[in-house]
Structure 1
Amino acid sequence: MRNRNTIEFLGVWEELHNPDFNRVQFEAVKNEAGLYRFVMTPTKWIKQMNAIGIVSKAGRYGGTYAYIEDAIGKLKKTEYKYIHTGEKAFV
């Protein structure tokens, strides 16, 4: 989760689907994304942003999971907001 585009994509998804999303913290993280020293883990993302789009579980049978809309959007490489609103109607 070092790529700025990934961070922006997740932020747009959270803004559309999560009323408790921490927008102030997101802006600070977005400004640092892409820098060499920037590191964001899924667990850190969930805690700092109050995120609901990613689920991360530790231990046996654990892993990091995202909603299907995230996976579809990462494959398309087009306008973020269009993907979210367009796929929402069909998923």
Structure 2
Amino acid sequence: MAVSEVKKEYSALYSYLDYTLHELPAGVLYDTNGANEDNCLELMRCTYRLEQLSKELSEEDASFIEYCRWHYERDPHYLSRQKHFGSYGNYIVKYNGPSRVKA
């Protein structure tokens, strides 16, 4: 794959993953709906692909990838006990999760 194609895929994937998290602390999005467990698995696969592309391009986005993983791994747990937590924002606070990417 040509470098320009890798950059294009990287940019599109980064933008998409950023979009899925722009509603935090309200929750993780998948398209215009809230993500479910299967969607979160797909988003995790996208995160692995982004990490691979970022290494190829020598991009420094480890904080963003870590941020994505925290939410994609934990959102299914929150969804299974949503009534207990009341809101995803409460869940983030309880488990000391990131609500923003660290600079």
- Structure number with greater Rg is 2
Fold shared by both chains (TM-score > 0.5): no
Larger helix proportion of the pair: 2
TM-score (norm: length of structure 1): 0.31
